[in-house]
Amino acid sequence: MKIAVIGTGYVGLVTGVCLAELGHHVTCIDVDQEKVEKLNSGKSPIYEEGLEELLQKNLHNEQVEFTTEYQQGLKDKQLVYLAVGTPQGEDGSADLTYIEAASRDIAEHLENDTVIVTKSTVPVGTNEYIKEIIEANLVHEVHIKIASNPEFLRQGSAVYDTFHGDRIVIGSDDEEALELLEAVNAGFNLPIVKTDLRSAEMIKYASNAFLATKISFINEMANLSEKIGANIDHVARGMGMDKRIGESFLNAGIGFGGSCFPKDTRAIISIGKEIAYDMPILENVVDVNERQRSIIVDKLLKRVYDLKGKKVAVLGLSFKPNTDDMREAPSIAVTEKLLEEGATVVAYDPVAVANAKKVLPGQVNYAESAEEAVQGADVAIILTEWKQIKEFPLTGYKERMNKALLFDGRNCFNLDQVKDSGVEYHSIGRPVIYG
Ligand SMILES: NC(=O)c1ccc[n+]([C@@H]2O[C@H](COP(=O)([O-])OP(=O)(O)OC[C@H]3O[C@@H](n4cnc5c(N)ncnc54)[C@H](O)[C@@H]3O)[C@@H](O)[C@H]2O)c1
Ligand SMILES: O=c1ccn([C@@H]2O[C@H](COP(=O)(O)OP(=O)(O)O[C@H]3O[C@H](CO)[C@@H](O)[C@H](O)[C@H]3O)[C@@H](O)[C@H]2O)c(=O)[nH]1
Protein backbone atom coordinates (compact mmCIF):
# COMPACT_ATOMS: atom_id res chain seq x y z
CA MET A 1 0.00 0.00 0.00
CA LYS A 2 1.15 3.60 -0.59
CA ILE A 3 1.38 5.43 2.71
CA ALA A 4 2.45 8.89 3.92
CA VAL A 5 3.50 9.58 7.51
CA ILE A 6 3.46 13.17 8.80
CA GLY A 7 6.09 13.80 11.50
CA THR A 8 9.30 11.82 11.88
CA GLY A 9 9.69 11.85 15.66
CA TYR A 10 9.81 8.72 17.81
CA VAL A 11 6.41 7.57 16.62
CA GLY A 12 6.34 8.74 13.00
CA LEU A 13 9.82 7.53 12.15
CA VAL A 14 9.41 4.14 13.77
CA THR A 15 5.95 3.70 12.21
CA GLY A 16 7.20 4.71 8.76
CA VAL A 17 10.23 2.47 8.79
CA CYS A 18 8.34 -0.52 10.22
CA LEU A 19 5.50 -0.20 7.68
CA ALA A 20 8.17 -0.08 4.96
CA GLU A 21 9.69 -3.24 6.43
CA LEU A 22 6.28 -4.92 5.99
CA GLY A 23 6.47 -4.10 2.27
CA HIS A 24 4.41 -0.92 2.11
CA HIS A 25 5.78 2.06 0.21
CA VAL A 26 6.17 4.90 2.70
CA THR A 27 6.91 8.61 2.29
CA CYS A 28 7.62 10.42 5.56
CA ILE A 29 7.04 14.17 5.65
CA ASP A 30 8.56 16.48 8.24
CA VAL A 31 8.88 20.27 8.43
CA ASP A 32 12.38 19.93 9.85
CA GLN A 33 14.72 20.15 6.84
CA GLU A 34 17.82 19.11 8.79
CA LYS A 35 16.08 15.99 10.12
CA VAL A 36 14.88 15.03 6.63
CA GLU A 37 18.38 15.39 5.18
CA LYS A 38 19.85 13.30 7.98
CA LEU A 39 17.22 10.60 7.45
CA ASN A 40 17.76 10.51 3.70
CA SER A 41 21.46 9.95 4.38
CA GLY A 42 20.57 6.90 6.49
CA LYS A 43 21.22 8.43 9.94
CA SER A 44 18.59 8.22 12.65
CA PRO A 45 18.15 11.49 14.59
CA ILE A 46 17.09 9.48 17.66
CA TYR A 47 18.70 6.63 19.55
CA GLU A 48 16.52 3.52 19.23
CA GLU A 49 17.87 0.00 19.08
CA GLY A 50 17.63 -1.51 15.59
CA LEU A 51 16.11 1.60 14.00
CA GLU A 52 19.10 2.82 11.98
CA GLU A 53 19.62 -0.63 10.44
CA LEU A 54 15.97 -0.85 9.36
CA LEU A 55 16.12 2.71 8.06
CA GLN A 56 19.18 2.03 5.92
CA LYS A 57 17.81 -1.25 4.60
CA ASN A 58 14.49 0.29 3.54
CA LEU A 59 16.11 3.42 2.07
CA HIS A 60 18.32 1.15 0.02
CA ASN A 61 15.31 -0.92 -1.16
CA GLU A 62 13.46 2.31 -1.94
CA GLN A 63 10.61 1.31 0.40
CA VAL A 64 10.91 4.51 2.45
CA GLU A 65 11.77 8.12 1.62
CA PHE A 66 11.79 11.42 3.46
CA THR A 67 10.71 14.86 2.30
CA THR A 68 9.65 18.29 3.51
CA GLU A 69 7.30 18.66 0.54
CA TYR A 70 3.66 17.87 1.32
CA GLN A 71 2.56 17.82 -2.31
CA GLN A 72 5.16 15.25 -3.36
CA GLY A 73 4.72 13.26 -0.14
CA LEU A 74 0.93 12.96 -0.32
CA LYS A 75 0.76 12.07 -4.00
CA ASP A 76 -1.29 8.89 -4.69
CA LYS A 77 -1.33 7.84 -1.04
CA GLN A 78 -4.16 5.61 0.21
CA LEU A 79 -3.36 6.29 3.84
CA VAL A 80 -1.88 9.33 5.60
CA TYR A 81 -0.69 8.84 9.18
CA LEU A 82 -0.56 11.88 11.47
CA ALA A 83 2.26 11.50 14.01
CA VAL A 84 3.17 15.06 15.04
CA GLY A 85 3.66 16.03 18.69
CA THR A 86 0.82 16.86 21.10
CA PRO A 87 2.80 18.44 23.94
CA GLN A 88 1.40 19.66 27.22
CA GLY A 89 -0.20 23.09 27.02
CA GLU A 90 0.20 25.68 29.76
CA ASP A 91 -3.01 24.61 31.52
CA GLY A 92 -2.15 20.89 31.36
CA SER A 93 -4.38 20.15 28.35
CA ALA A 94 -2.95 18.72 25.12
CA ASP A 95 -1.62 21.43 22.81
CA LEU A 96 -3.09 20.73 19.37
CA THR A 97 -1.13 23.42 17.49
CA TYR A 98 0.98 20.92 15.51
CA ILE A 99 -2.04 18.75 14.74
CA GLU A 100 -3.96 21.76 13.45
CA ALA A 101 -1.05 22.97 11.30
CA ALA A 102 -0.42 19.51 9.85
CA SER A 103 -4.16 19.05 9.13
CA ARG A 104 -4.21 22.32 7.19
CA ASP A 105 -1.03 21.30 5.32
CA ILE A 106 -2.66 17.99 4.35
CA ALA A 107 -5.82 19.75 3.19
CA GLU A 108 -3.93 22.18 0.99
CA HIS A 109 -1.98 19.48 -0.83
CA LEU A 110 -4.24 16.44 -0.96
CA GLU A 111 -5.17 15.53 -4.54
CA ASN A 112 -6.83 12.11 -4.12
CA ASP A 113 -9.30 10.36 -1.79
CA THR A 114 -7.54 9.02 1.28
CA VAL A 115 -7.91 7.77 4.84
CA ILE A 116 -6.31 9.97 7.51
CA VAL A 117 -5.06 7.93 10.47
CA THR A 118 -4.12 9.64 13.73
CA LYS A 119 -1.20 8.04 15.58
CA SER A 120 -0.60 11.05 17.83
CA THR A 121 -2.17 10.88 21.28
CA VAL A 122 -5.12 13.25 21.09
CA PRO A 123 -8.06 14.10 23.38
CA VAL A 124 -11.35 12.37 22.76
CA GLY A 125 -13.17 14.08 19.90
CA THR A 126 -10.00 15.42 18.24
CA ASN A 127 -10.23 13.11 15.23
CA GLU A 128 -13.62 14.60 14.38
CA TYR A 129 -12.02 18.06 14.72
CA ILE A 130 -9.13 17.02 12.42
CA LYS A 131 -11.66 15.89 9.81
CA GLU A 132 -13.43 19.23 10.06
CA ILE A 133 -10.18 21.20 9.62
CA ILE A 134 -9.14 19.15 6.61
CA GLU A 135 -12.55 19.31 4.96
CA ALA A 136 -12.76 23.06 5.52
CA ASN A 137 -9.38 23.68 3.89
CA LEU A 138 -9.38 21.23 0.98
CA VAL A 139 -8.19 22.75 -2.29
CA HIS A 140 -9.06 19.81 -4.55
CA GLU A 141 -12.33 17.95 -4.67
CA VAL A 142 -11.43 14.85 -2.69
CA HIS A 143 -13.08 12.71 0.00
CA ILE A 144 -11.43 11.80 3.24
CA LYS A 145 -12.21 9.25 5.93
CA ILE A 146 -10.75 9.45 9.43
CA ALA A 147 -9.43 6.76 11.77
CA SER A 148 -7.58 6.58 15.06
CA ASN A 149 -4.66 4.17 15.52
CA PRO A 150 -3.11 5.10 18.88
CA GLU A 151 0.51 4.13 19.45
CA PHE A 152 1.68 2.03 22.42
CA LEU A 153 5.43 1.75 21.74
CA ARG A 154 7.88 2.48 24.53
CA GLN A 155 10.97 4.55 23.88
CA GLY A 156 14.08 2.45 24.11
CA SER A 157 12.31 -0.57 22.61
CA ALA A 158 10.24 1.18 19.94
CA VAL A 159 11.07 -1.12 17.02
CA TYR A 160 10.68 -4.27 19.11
CA ASP A 161 7.34 -3.04 20.48
CA THR A 162 6.04 -2.27 16.99
CA PHE A 163 6.55 -5.87 15.90
CA HIS A 164 5.73 -7.50 19.26
CA GLY A 165 3.10 -5.24 20.87
CA ASP A 166 0.21 -6.73 22.84
CA ARG A 167 -2.42 -5.30 20.49
CA ILE A 168 -3.12 -2.85 17.72
CA VAL A 169 -6.10 -0.56 18.30
CA ILE A 170 -7.94 0.85 15.31
CA GLY A 171 -10.97 3.05 15.66
CA SER A 172 -13.24 4.58 13.08
CA ASP A 173 -16.90 5.27 12.51
CA ASP A 174 -16.39 4.17 8.90
CA GLU A 175 -16.34 0.44 8.12
CA GLU A 176 -14.20 0.81 4.95
CA ALA A 177 -11.54 2.78 6.84
CA LEU A 178 -11.42 0.02 9.47
CA GLU A 179 -11.02 -2.64 6.79
CA LEU A 180 -8.17 -0.74 5.13
CA LEU A 181 -6.35 -0.31 8.43
CA GLU A 182 -6.84 -3.95 9.28
CA ALA A 183 -5.26 -4.89 5.94
CA VAL A 184 -2.28 -2.53 6.43
CA ASN A 185 -1.60 -3.92 9.88
CA ALA A 186 -2.12 -7.59 8.96
CA GLY A 187 1.62 -8.06 8.41
CA PHE A 188 2.38 -7.35 12.08
CA ASN A 189 0.40 -10.45 12.97
CA LEU A 190 -0.79 -9.00 16.28
CA PRO A 191 -4.26 -9.00 17.88
CA ILE A 192 -6.33 -6.13 16.49
CA VAL A 193 -8.97 -4.32 18.54
CA LYS A 194 -11.54 -2.67 16.26
CA THR A 195 -13.66 0.04 17.76
CA ASP A 196 -15.24 3.44 17.19
CA LEU A 197 -13.24 6.68 16.94
CA ARG A 198 -13.83 8.03 20.43
CA SER A 199 -13.24 4.71 22.19
CA ALA A 200 -9.89 4.32 20.38
CA GLU A 201 -8.81 7.79 21.54
CA MET A 202 -9.91 6.95 25.08
CA ILE A 203 -8.11 3.56 25.12
CA LYS A 204 -4.77 5.38 24.71
CA TYR A 205 -5.31 7.83 27.59
CA ALA A 206 -6.86 5.19 29.85
CA SER A 207 -3.90 2.83 29.25
CA ASN A 208 -1.27 5.44 30.03
CA ALA A 209 -3.22 6.70 33.04
CA PHE A 210 -3.51 3.16 34.39
CA LEU A 211 0.22 2.44 33.98
CA ALA A 212 1.12 5.77 35.61
CA THR A 213 -1.26 4.91 38.47
CA LYS A 214 0.48 1.58 38.95
CA ILE A 215 3.84 3.39 39.29
CA SER A 216 2.57 6.00 41.76
CA PHE A 217 0.81 3.25 43.71
CA ILE A 218 3.95 1.16 44.10
CA ASN A 219 5.94 4.28 45.01
CA GLU A 220 3.46 5.08 47.75
CA MET A 221 3.73 1.49 49.02
CA ALA A 222 7.54 1.80 48.85
CA ASN A 223 7.61 4.95 50.96
CA LEU A 224 5.36 3.35 53.56
CA SER A 225 7.31 0.05 53.50
CA GLU A 226 10.52 1.89 54.25
CA LYS A 227 9.00 3.69 57.21
CA ILE A 228 7.50 0.56 58.77
CA GLY A 229 10.38 -1.84 58.13
CA ALA A 230 9.17 -3.77 55.05
CA ASN A 231 11.13 -4.26 51.81
CA ILE A 232 9.37 -3.10 48.62
CA ASP A 233 11.22 -5.73 46.50
CA HIS A 234 9.50 -8.47 48.44
CA VAL A 235 6.20 -6.61 48.59
CA ALA A 236 6.15 -6.05 44.78
CA ARG A 237 7.14 -9.64 44.07
CA GLY A 238 4.45 -11.00 46.35
CA MET A 239 1.85 -8.69 44.83
CA GLY A 240 2.92 -9.22 41.21
CA MET A 241 2.53 -13.01 41.39
CA ASP A 242 -1.19 -12.43 41.63
CA LYS A 243 -2.16 -12.56 37.96
CA ARG A 244 -4.91 -10.01 38.53
CA ILE A 245 -2.21 -7.51 39.55
CA GLY A 246 0.66 -8.59 37.28
CA GLU A 247 4.38 -8.16 37.93
CA SER A 248 5.17 -5.40 35.41
CA PHE A 249 5.27 -1.70 36.27
CA LEU A 250 5.82 -2.38 39.94
CA ASN A 251 9.37 -0.98 40.05
CA ALA A 252 9.57 1.63 42.79
CA GLY A 253 11.89 4.57 42.21
CA ILE A 254 12.02 8.29 41.60
CA GLY A 255 8.84 8.24 39.55
CA PHE A 256 7.81 8.40 35.93
CA GLY A 257 9.16 10.88 33.40
CA GLY A 258 9.31 11.00 29.62
CA SER A 259 7.23 12.58 26.91
CA CYS A 260 4.06 10.59 27.63
CA PHE A 261 2.99 9.72 31.18
CA PRO A 262 3.44 13.21 32.69
CA LYS A 263 1.62 14.99 29.87
CA ASP A 264 -1.03 12.34 29.22
CA THR A 265 -2.08 12.05 32.88
CA ARG A 266 -2.48 15.84 33.01
CA ALA A 267 -4.31 15.84 29.68
CA ILE A 268 -6.90 13.29 30.80
CA ILE A 269 -7.51 15.26 34.00
CA SER A 270 -8.01 18.29 31.79
CA ILE A 271 -10.46 16.39 29.52
CA GLY A 272 -12.51 15.66 32.66
CA LYS A 273 -12.30 19.30 33.85
CA GLU A 274 -13.71 20.54 30.56
CA ILE A 275 -16.94 18.72 31.32
CA ALA A 276 -16.76 19.46 35.07
CA TYR A 277 -15.81 15.88 35.97
CA ASP A 278 -13.11 15.63 38.66
CA MET A 279 -10.59 12.78 38.50
CA PRO A 280 -9.21 12.55 42.07
CA ILE A 281 -7.32 9.29 41.49
CA LEU A 282 -5.29 10.74 38.62
CA GLU A 283 -4.75 14.08 40.36
CA ASN A 284 -3.10 12.17 43.20
CA VAL A 285 -1.10 10.03 40.76
CA VAL A 286 0.46 13.24 39.43
CA ASP A 287 1.07 14.66 42.95
CA VAL A 288 2.65 11.44 44.22
CA ASN A 289 4.93 11.38 41.17
CA GLU A 290 6.09 14.94 41.79
CA ARG A 291 6.81 14.22 45.44
CA GLN A 292 8.69 11.07 44.46
CA ARG A 293 11.28 13.01 42.45
CA SER A 294 12.44 14.93 45.51
CA ILE A 295 12.54 11.92 47.83
CA ILE A 296 16.04 10.79 46.85
CA VAL A 297 17.53 14.29 47.26
CA ASP A 298 15.73 14.77 50.58
CA LYS A 299 17.30 11.52 51.81
CA LEU A 300 20.70 12.65 50.61
CA LEU A 301 20.38 16.03 52.34
CA LYS A 302 19.19 14.40 55.56
CA ARG A 303 22.31 12.23 55.53
CA VAL A 304 24.93 14.73 54.31
CA TYR A 305 23.38 17.97 55.73
CA ASP A 306 25.56 20.35 53.76
CA LEU A 307 26.45 19.84 50.10
CA LYS A 308 28.53 23.01 49.74
CA GLY A 309 31.86 22.12 48.16
CA LYS A 310 30.89 18.44 47.90
CA LYS A 311 31.28 16.53 44.66
CA VAL A 312 28.16 14.56 43.65
CA ALA A 313 28.32 11.97 40.87
CA VAL A 314 24.99 11.73 39.03
CA LEU A 315 24.65 8.40 37.22
CA GLY A 316 22.06 8.33 34.43
CA LEU A 317 20.28 11.37 32.96
CA SER A 318 17.71 10.15 30.39
CA PHE A 319 14.16 9.57 31.70
CA LYS A 320 14.67 5.81 31.31
CA PRO A 321 17.41 3.51 29.96
CA ASN A 322 18.07 2.86 26.25
CA THR A 323 16.95 6.29 25.07
CA ASP A 324 18.63 9.68 24.70
CA ASP A 325 15.33 11.44 25.51
CA MET A 326 15.49 14.01 28.30
CA ARG A 327 11.83 15.09 28.17
CA GLU A 328 10.52 15.32 31.78
CA ALA A 329 13.55 13.37 33.01
CA PRO A 330 13.68 13.35 36.83
CA SER A 331 17.42 14.16 36.47
CA ILE A 332 16.53 17.77 35.57
CA ALA A 333 14.90 18.59 38.93
CA VAL A 334 17.49 16.54 40.84
CA THR A 335 20.58 18.24 39.32
CA GLU A 336 19.00 21.68 39.76
CA LYS A 337 18.41 20.96 43.45
CA LEU A 338 21.94 19.59 43.97
CA LEU A 339 23.46 22.71 42.40
CA GLU A 340 21.15 24.94 44.44
CA GLU A 341 22.50 23.24 47.58
CA GLY A 342 26.05 24.14 46.52
CA ALA A 343 27.24 20.76 45.20
CA THR A 344 29.64 20.27 42.29
CA VAL A 345 27.84 17.90 39.93
CA VAL A 346 29.60 15.44 37.61
CA ALA A 347 27.13 13.51 35.47
CA TYR A 348 27.43 10.39 33.36
CA ASP A 349 24.98 8.97 30.83
CA PRO A 350 25.89 6.51 28.06
CA VAL A 351 23.92 8.33 25.32
CA ALA A 352 21.88 11.29 26.59
CA VAL A 353 24.68 13.82 27.26
CA ALA A 354 24.17 15.82 24.03
CA ASN A 355 20.46 16.26 24.81
CA ALA A 356 21.15 16.75 28.53
CA LYS A 357 23.43 19.71 27.80
CA LYS A 358 20.45 21.48 26.20
CA VAL A 359 18.25 21.21 29.32
CA LEU A 360 20.50 20.88 32.38
CA PRO A 361 22.12 23.90 34.06
CA GLY A 362 25.44 24.96 32.51
CA GLN A 363 27.37 24.25 35.73
CA VAL A 364 26.94 20.47 35.34
CA ASN A 365 30.20 18.70 34.38
CA TYR A 366 30.13 15.51 32.32
CA ALA A 367 32.14 12.30 32.61
CA GLU A 368 32.76 9.67 29.93
CA SER A 369 32.12 6.74 32.24
CA ALA A 370 30.71 5.78 35.63
CA GLU A 371 34.32 5.24 36.83
CA GLU A 372 35.28 8.77 35.89
CA ALA A 373 32.12 10.28 37.45
CA VAL A 374 32.57 8.65 40.85
CA GLN A 375 36.32 9.30 41.02
CA GLY A 376 36.91 11.44 44.12
CA ALA A 377 33.14 11.98 44.63
CA ASP A 378 31.65 12.45 48.10
CA VAL A 379 28.23 11.11 47.11
CA ALA A 380 26.91 9.13 44.12
CA ILE A 381 23.27 9.13 43.04
CA ILE A 382 21.71 6.77 40.47
CA LEU A 383 18.84 8.26 38.45
CA THR A 384 18.58 5.92 35.43
CA GLU A 385 19.07 2.15 35.49
CA TRP A 386 21.27 1.87 32.38
CA LYS A 387 22.99 -1.51 31.98
CA GLN A 388 26.37 0.27 32.25
CA ILE A 389 25.29 1.69 35.62
CA LYS A 390 23.66 -1.49 36.96
CA GLU A 391 26.80 -3.42 36.03
CA PHE A 392 29.24 -0.89 37.48
CA PRO A 393 30.50 -2.90 40.47
CA LEU A 394 30.09 -1.79 44.06
CA THR A 395 33.87 -2.14 44.44
CA GLY A 396 34.12 0.70 41.90
CA TYR A 397 32.38 3.04 44.34
CA LYS A 398 34.44 1.80 47.27
CA GLU A 399 37.77 2.20 45.49
CA ARG A 400 37.13 5.56 43.82
CA MET A 401 35.01 7.62 46.20
CA ASN A 402 36.13 9.54 49.28
CA LYS A 403 33.58 7.55 51.27
CA ALA A 404 31.37 5.15 49.37
CA LEU A 405 27.97 6.77 49.90
CA LEU A 406 25.44 5.70 47.26
CA PHE A 407 21.83 6.88 46.79
CA ASP A 408 20.01 4.65 44.32
CA GLY A 409 16.83 6.14 42.86
CA ARG A 410 16.17 3.06 40.73
CA ASN A 411 16.86 0.18 43.14
CA CYS A 412 19.52 -1.25 40.83
CA PHE A 413 21.18 -3.47 43.43
CA ASN A 414 19.65 -6.22 45.44
CA LEU A 415 20.32 -5.78 49.14
CA ASP A 416 22.27 -9.05 49.51
CA GLN A 417 24.77 -7.74 46.93
CA VAL A 418 25.38 -4.64 49.01
CA LYS A 419 26.03 -6.39 52.34
CA ASP A 420 29.76 -6.36 53.15
CA SER A 421 30.52 -4.29 50.01
CA GLY A 422 31.93 -1.35 51.94
CA VAL A 423 29.23 0.86 50.41
CA GLU A 424 26.64 2.77 52.44
CA TYR A 425 23.54 2.20 50.34
CA HIS A 426 20.27 4.16 50.39
CA SER A 427 17.48 3.16 48.00
CA ILE A 428 13.69 3.47 47.65
CA GLY A 429 11.36 1.49 49.90
CA ARG A 430 14.11 -0.63 51.43
CA PRO A 431 16.25 -0.41 54.57
CA VAL A 432 19.58 1.44 54.49
CA ILE A 433 22.50 -0.98 54.19
CA TYR A 434 25.80 -0.09 55.83
CA GLY A 435 27.77 -2.54 53.69
N1 LIG B 1 7.34 9.15 22.09
C2 LIG B 1 6.63 8.10 22.38
O3 LIG B 1 7.11 7.13 22.95
C4 LIG B 1 5.16 8.04 22.03
C5 LIG B 1 4.49 6.80 22.13
C6 LIG B 1 3.13 6.75 21.82
C7 LIG B 1 2.47 7.89 21.41
N8 LIG B 1 3.15 9.07 21.31
C9 LIG B 1 2.42 10.23 20.80
O10 LIG B 1 2.79 10.38 19.42
C11 LIG B 1 2.87 11.76 19.08
C12 LIG B 1 4.25 12.09 18.52
O13 LIG B 1 5.18 11.92 19.57
P14 LIG B 1 6.77 11.91 19.27
O15 LIG B 1 7.43 11.61 20.56
O16 LIG B 1 7.03 11.06 18.09
O17 LIG B 1 6.97 13.45 18.87
P18 LIG B 1 8.30 14.20 18.40
O19 LIG B 1 8.23 15.55 19.00
O20 LIG B 1 9.48 13.32 18.65
O21 LIG B 1 8.13 14.31 16.81
C22 LIG B 1 7.18 15.11 16.16
C23 LIG B 1 7.70 15.41 14.75
O24 LIG B 1 6.68 16.09 14.02
C25 LIG B 1 7.29 17.09 13.21
N26 LIG B 1 6.27 18.10 12.85
C27 LIG B 1 5.71 19.06 13.62
N28 LIG B 1 4.80 19.75 12.91
C29 LIG B 1 4.77 19.21 11.66
C30 LIG B 1 4.02 19.47 10.49
N31 LIG B 1 3.10 20.43 10.43
N32 LIG B 1 4.27 18.72 9.40
C33 LIG B 1 5.20 17.74 9.41
N34 LIG B 1 5.93 17.44 10.49
C35 LIG B 1 5.72 18.16 11.62
C36 LIG B 1 8.41 17.63 14.08
O37 LIG B 1 9.39 18.31 13.31
C38 LIG B 1 8.94 16.32 14.72
O39 LIG B 1 9.94 15.74 13.92
C40 LIG B 1 2.47 12.51 20.32
O41 LIG B 1 1.09 12.75 20.29
C42 LIG B 1 2.78 11.54 21.45
O43 LIG B 1 1.99 11.76 22.59
C44 LIG B 1 4.48 9.16 21.59
O1 LIG C 1 7.76 0.01 37.01
C2 LIG C 1 8.06 1.09 36.46
C3 LIG C 1 7.95 1.29 35.06
C4 LIG C 1 8.29 2.54 34.54
N5 LIG C 1 8.71 3.54 35.37
C6 LIG C 1 9.04 4.87 34.79
O7 LIG C 1 7.96 5.28 33.96
C8 LIG C 1 8.42 6.08 32.89
C9 LIG C 1 7.87 5.58 31.57
O10 LIG C 1 8.42 4.31 31.27
P11 LIG C 1 7.95 3.44 30.01
O12 LIG C 1 6.51 3.23 30.08
O13 LIG C 1 8.81 2.25 29.97
O14 LIG C 1 8.39 4.39 28.81
P15 LIG C 1 7.66 5.30 27.72
O16 LIG C 1 8.51 5.26 26.53
O17 LIG C 1 7.32 6.63 28.32
O18 LIG C 1 6.29 4.53 27.33
C19 LIG C 1 5.01 4.85 27.88
O20 LIG C 1 4.43 5.93 27.18
C21 LIG C 1 4.29 5.72 25.75
C22 LIG C 1 3.77 7.02 25.16
O23 LIG C 1 2.39 7.16 25.28
C24 LIG C 1 3.36 4.54 25.52
O25 LIG C 1 3.20 4.32 24.12
C26 LIG C 1 3.92 3.30 26.20
O27 LIG C 1 2.99 2.22 26.06
C28 LIG C 1 4.12 3.61 27.70
O29 LIG C 1 4.73 2.48 28.35
C30 LIG C 1 9.95 6.06 32.97
O31 LIG C 1 10.41 7.26 33.58
C32 LIG C 1 10.25 4.87 33.86
O33 LIG C 1 11.44 5.04 34.59
C34 LIG C 1 8.84 3.34 36.73
O35 LIG C 1 9.22 4.25 37.48
N36 LIG C 1 8.50 2.11 37.24
Quickly list DSSP for 148-177: E------TTSHHHHHHH-S-EEEE-S-HHH
Q: What is the pLDDT of residue 47?
A: 87
Digit-coded pLDDT (tens) for 264-302: 999 999 999 999 999 999 999 999 999 999 999 999 999
**Alpha-carbon span 394 to 377, nearest angstrom:** 14
Indicate whether 335 belongs to any domain: yes
Read off φ and ψ for residue 278, nearest 5 degrees: -75, 145
Q: Are residues 281 and 299 in the same domain?
A: no
Among the atoms of ligand 1, which is closest to the Cα of residue 102?
31
Q: Are residues 45 and 69 in the same domain?
A: yes
Among the atoms of ligand 2, which is closest to the Cα of residue 251?
1
Residue 215 Cα to chain centre, angstroms: 14
* Domain total of the chain: 3
24, 61 in Cβ contact below 8 A? no
- ipTM score assigned to the predicted complex: 0.98
Domain boundary among 290, 314, 339: 290
Domain boundary among 273, 290, 307: 290
Digit-coded pLDDT (tens) for 144-172: 999 999 999 999 999 999 999 999 999 99
Domain boundary among 128, 162, 195: 195
HSE (side-chain half, CA atoms, 13 Å) at 60: 8
Q: Look up residue 188 and give its DSSP letter.
A: G
**Rg, the chain, Cα only:** 23
pLDDT for residue 435 is more than 90:
no
Q: Which of 240, 221, 217 lies closest to 428, judged by CA?
A: 221
Q: Are residues 134 and 152 in the same domain?
A: yes
Q: Are residues 161 and 258 in the same domain?
A: no
Q: Are residues 286 and 306 in the same domain?
A: no
Indicate whether 53 belongs to any domain: yes
Residue 117 Cα to chain centre, angstroms: 21
Q: Are residues 84 and 226 in the same domain?
A: no
Indicate whether 431 belongs to any domain: no
Q: Are residues 191 and 217 in the same domain?
A: no
Q: Are residues 369 and 282 in the same domain?
A: no
Could you say which ligand is closest to the alpha carbon of residue 205?
A: 2
Pocket test for ligand 1, best of 105, 116, 151 (most atoms within 8 A of CB): 151
Q: Are residues 191 and 212 in the same domain?
A: no
Q: Are residues 175 and 115 in the same domain?
A: yes
Report helix, strand or coil for 358: helix
Indicate whether 434 belongs to any domain: no
Q: Is 126 left (phi over 0), alpha (psi -120 to 50) or beta?
A: alpha
Q: What is the pTM of this model?
A: 0.96
β-bridge mates for residue 29, sequence order: 6, 67
Indicate whether 418 belongs to any domain: yes
The residue range of the domain holding 360 is 294-426
Q: What is the pLDDT of residue 28?
A: 98
Residues lining ligand 1, judged by CB closer than 6 Å?
6-12, 29-32, 35, 83-86, 98, 101-102, 105, 119-121, 151, 153, 155, 259-260
**CATH number of 392's domain:** 3.40.50.720
Among the atoms of ligand 2, which is closest to the Cα of residue 328?
31
Q: What is the pLDDT of residue 353?
A: 97
Digit-coded pLDDT (tens) for 295-308: 999 999 999 989 99
Q: Are residues 188 and 283 in the same domain?
A: no
Q: What is the pLDDT of residue 243?
A: 98
Question: Pick the catalytic residue: 18, 28, 260, 412?
Answer: 260
HSE (side-chain half, CA atoms, 13 Å) at 39: 30
**CATH number of 218's domain:** 1.10.1040.10
Q: Are residues 19 and 163 in the same domain?
A: yes
Indicate whether 165 belongs to any domain: yes
